[in-house]
Chains A and B, each alone.
Chain A
């Protein structure tokens, strides 16, 4: 019997090994985000964001990240159902390890996405961030929330029909409060204003959803 951490690590490394074989999620997510980013950048114009447009920039960045995540994250569980590997996985791993492994995989995927897209976004739209540390923390906190919420919803959607559209329909109402909070936190970081409660509340959201997901996932996963 493997230890809990060992089992989680095994799931995480299995996910990345499968991903690096096909690079399906990575290329979908990255290309989706970059295409949207180019569309946004062209419509904003070559001079970048004007001071009046600047408050909108965090909104655009988070919308790009959210929709890119929607395009790629549901695959973790949908893929298992499609290739009929879900049942062996039910036998092989404990639900909590499986959930944490899959969430960590989604989180690392999102962090790669953020690491590529955010600098490009800031450069192309010529946005200057006053407080880089707070901005990075907002990205991390938002990434954790997106990863946890999407992993649970993906596990649910994999057992239903019409998976792609259904994922967006189910995930958005759950993720919208988080989105609002991290957009506020990013805006505060870009403008370099005094502290707002948004970041702390986003951390609260992350922890509440994580606890709820850990309790609910075994019910979703085991018939």
Chain B
């Protein structure tokens, strides 16, 4: 392990620890979520974990589509490994974002699941990348597998705007807060941005470890 990697890991550790501390002790409660009862609920602190997870998973899928495009262009297996690693870790983030969202939805809205447009989109994203992984499982030859799954990942990004931007807007109503709808204090915004940076860096680190495992497996045959 090089010095640079070690520094990165320590910085990441300190950064995430500080962000988690700030999420609970520095940031005030969001008044945007205060119901008719008065006080803003502690549950509004979900914003420091749920939102960064969702943003980072979207980033992961974007990165995966980009590496898939690079694979189709250059045909190096390392790019394929990068794309798979990003999708696998992105799936993990996506599942965590779904679960944290559902738990918060139970507290705030009274039901774990209500097919809010955002919930539908995230389920479709999970279905899609689940299909990607089962496609990889169904092809034996590593070159064909890389080629087909890269095509599928790129195709997904043609359909993604419909899932994430068009269909949620077409729905008649949504309870899901959007940036801007819930007023936020400056401190809250600061911690959210710090958490997005931290979770994205964590994603990059886990994905790079996964990519190295895939490289070594391919070398071993």
Contacts and interface: CB of A to CB of B under 8 A. Distances in A.
A130 interface: no
A65 B181 CA distance: 40
A156 B151 CA distance: 9
A216 B154 contact: yes
A26 interface: no
A161 B151 contact: no
Contacts of B15: none
Q: Is the interface of A mostly helix, strand, loop or mixed?
A: helix
Given A172-B131, A219-B147, 14 more contacts: A159-B139, A159-B144, A159-B148, A160-B139, A160-B148, A169-B131, A169-B135, A173-B128, A184-B170, A201-B166, A205-B159, A212-B158, A216-B154, A220-B147
A193 B1 CA distance: 66
A88 interface: no
A205 B166 CA distance: 11
Interface string B118-153: 000000100110110011001110011001101110
A166 B151 contact: no
Instruction: Bin chain A's interface residue count.
Output: 20 to 34
A181 B171 CA distance: 11
Instruction: Bin chain B's interface residue count.
Output: 20 to 34
A39 B159 CA distance: 33
Given A160-B135, A177-B163, A198-B170, A212 B155 contact: yes
Nearest to A163: B138
A208 B147 CA distance: 21
Q: Is the interface of B mostly helix, strand, loop or mixed?
A: helix
A152 interface: yes
Interface of B: 72, 124, 127-128, 130-131, 134-135, 138-140, 143-144, 147-148, 150-152, 154-156, 158-159, 162-163, 166-167, 170
A151 B15 CA distance: 48
A208 B167 CA distance: 16
Pick from A152, A172, A201, A220 the residue with the most CB of B within 10 Å. A220
Given A176-B124, A180-B167, A161 B140 contact: yes
A162 interface: yes
Contact of B134 (A166, A216, A223): A166
Given A156-B151, A177-B159, A170 B131 contact: yes
Pick from B139, B152, B162, B167 the residue with the most CB of A within 10 Å. B162
